[in-house]
Structure 1
């Protein structure tokens, strides 16, 4: 029996993500948690003729604990979008607080769950999650993932457009670093099967992968962000974890992880000087079985991108760790 949880299931990412997970034959029980509307979302999805039994929970009567209890996999897209007049710091403090609270509950009632953090800023929320789990004595770095799959999905799509490939999903485009702006480093030199990116299109393509979210915000006229593509990316990563748990071999996907706790991670930590970093991760029954070092023989252009990413990530990670230990007083 596999129990999956979506925390933030009523939101713009949470609803389509819950739909996709309801369709997965690998899930037997799907628990939806949010501060509003989850019974309605669950009732709607329960009419779909797939095998996952579904239930919606609200904060009342310890709903989060009931939703999370004994979960095998918890996916967290919870958080609020930035509203007019709200500073980035305000937004950070709210979303960081939401993630911290959810991880505290997970640590208590589902200490062995695989935790997939989608809530932005991932570069900071994953370090927060790690610190909370450490404080509770249940941290296992192989089971905590920052979902950066949307960057990979975008890279596959945009490279396929330039290269004239009709099946983007057949490309493997490693994207490393973090999950915002210049911390996102696409390694076009390591695409398989190999694709040559014309020099005159390289910078624009890098920029599009790094700031693809802005395209969506602009197209939605400021009324939303990348929710549907993010839901797909979250589902794609969650499904790979579930397939790995089922014993399938050869599953690799980049993810933002705590390097020292993942086999192979120390080598990458030494090269970057960072505790957290997104690299291709070989998935297996234990979760992150191996971090794959793709930093060797990268191009000069990629080295420049990597340097900028490392600088940005230092501050992001520090911000998360500081918040976990000293959250602002309400």
Structure 2
């Protein structure tokens, strides 16, 4: 029996994400929370023949805590979406929402796996950590910033550049660092299958590929012309990452290696990563092994080529202030 809760379930990401979780055979109870329309989304999804029983909750009568109660995994896409001209960092207005949800999680399901999609992830994950610390329930192994859309995009864009778009799912490209612009560090030199040298060694082609991975979200914001940001691709990436966690924790799957934005204090390997990147950052998107308790092991960054070392320097420089912004945030949260 696995209970999953989606906070922000009626939004552009939340609705398709909730649909994908309803279809996941590991989920037996699906709880949906939002400030509006959660009941309607729940009623709609409840007509689908799958094991998960769906219930919706709104803010009145302590709805957030009722939705979250005894959840095994909480996925959080709540917040304001990006609009044209906005960066993910401009979405720090979501900070209060995240702090409020973290407080509710601390009371209702302190041992749940927490998957944070709400942007800016570079700052919102530290906000969750600080709130949970103050509540005395923080487990860094169970708090995961979902940077998986960067990995999905890297696979798709690399396959396209090498002329094999239909094989996108076969390409595994580690993407480390953070989840915003220059903090996104695609390790093209570590791609499996490998990227042909004529692409890696062509500065113009490589720079264009890196830029598209880092700023792919801007393509969607522009194409939607003010009507939203990446919702469907983010929902798929979020559901896929949630499935990795669910399979590792409840599905009996052997340890899986993925990338996520986490507290480097979650495992001793975090200190080694700090030495590799040459910075005392407390959060970083890094290679991890998932197990029944969440982050089982933090793995090395690995060898970087000269181009990636330059990208790493830029990522580290930008990440530091974003992390500090989240850590130092003093919530005066809006009432949800």
State the TM bucket, normalised to the shorter chain: over 0.9
CA distance in structure 2 between the partners assigned to 1:56 and 1:229 by the alignment: 24
Which residue of structure 1 lines up, in the alignment, with residue 295 of structure 2? Answer: 288
Q: Is 2:246 aligned against 1:242?
A: yes
Give runs of aligned pairs for residues 1-330 of structure 1, distance below 5 A: 1-82=1-82, 91-92=91-92, 94-165=93-164, 166-196=166-196, 198=199, 199=202, 200-245=204-249, 246-271=251-276, 272-294=279-301, 296-323=302-329, 326-327=330-331
Unpaired stretches in structure 2, ≥5 consecutive residues: none
Query: What is the SS of the residue equivalent to 2:226?
Result: coil
**Cα-to-partner distance string for 1:148-194 (whole Å, 9 max, x where unaligned):** 00000000000000112322111110000000000000000001122
CA distance in 2, matches of 1:88, 1:2: 32
CA contact (8 A) 1:2 1:27 kept: yes
Q: Distance in 1 between matches of 2:174 and 2:85?
A: 37
SS in 1 for 2:328: helix
Q: Which 4+ residue blocks in structure 1 deviate beyond 2 angstroms?
A: 81-91, 269-272, 326-330
Matched residue of 1:61: which SS?
coil
- Aligned-partner Cα distance in 2 for 1:90–1:216: 17
Aligned pair count reads 326
RMSD: 1.9
Counterpart of 2:100 in 1: which secondary structure?
helix
Q: 2-side partners of 1:124 and 1:286: how far apart?
A: 24
SS in 2 for 1:64: helix
Query: Structure 1: which 5+ residue stretches go unaligned?
Result: none
CA distance in 1, matches of 2:89, 2:209: 29
TM-score by length of 1: 0.95
Cα deviation digits, residues 91-132 of structure 1 (max 9, x gap)? 41x310000000110011101000000000000000000011
Q: 1:2 to 1:183 in 2, by over 3 A?
A: same
Distance (whole Å) between structure 2 residues aligned to residue 329 and residue 284 of structure 1 = 33
Instruction: Give distance in 2, aligned partners of 1:144 and 1:135.
Output: 15
- Deviation, 1:250, is 3.8
- 2:229 and 2:9 map into 1 onto residues whose CA distance is 16
How far does residue 86 in structure 1 lie from its aligned partner after superposition? 9.3
Deviation track 1:6-29 (CA, whole Å, cap 9, x = no partner) reads: 000000000000000000000000
Q: Is the 8 A contact 1:2 1:28 kept in 2?
A: yes
Alpha-carbon contact 1:148-1:254 (below 8 Å) kept:
yes
Q: How far apart are residue 292 of structure 1 and its match?
A: 1.2
TM-score, scaled relative to structure 2: 0.93
- Assess if the C-alpha contact under 8 Å between 1:247 and 1:284 holds in 2: no
Shift of 1:221: 1.3
Q: Is the 8 A contact 1:45 1:54 kept in 2?
A: yes
- Offset of residue 68 of structure 1: 0.3
Deviation string 1:253-301 (CA, Å, 9 cap, x unpaired) is 100000012241121123332000001111110101111112x321000
Q: Distance in 1 between matches of 2:254 and 2:295?
A: 12
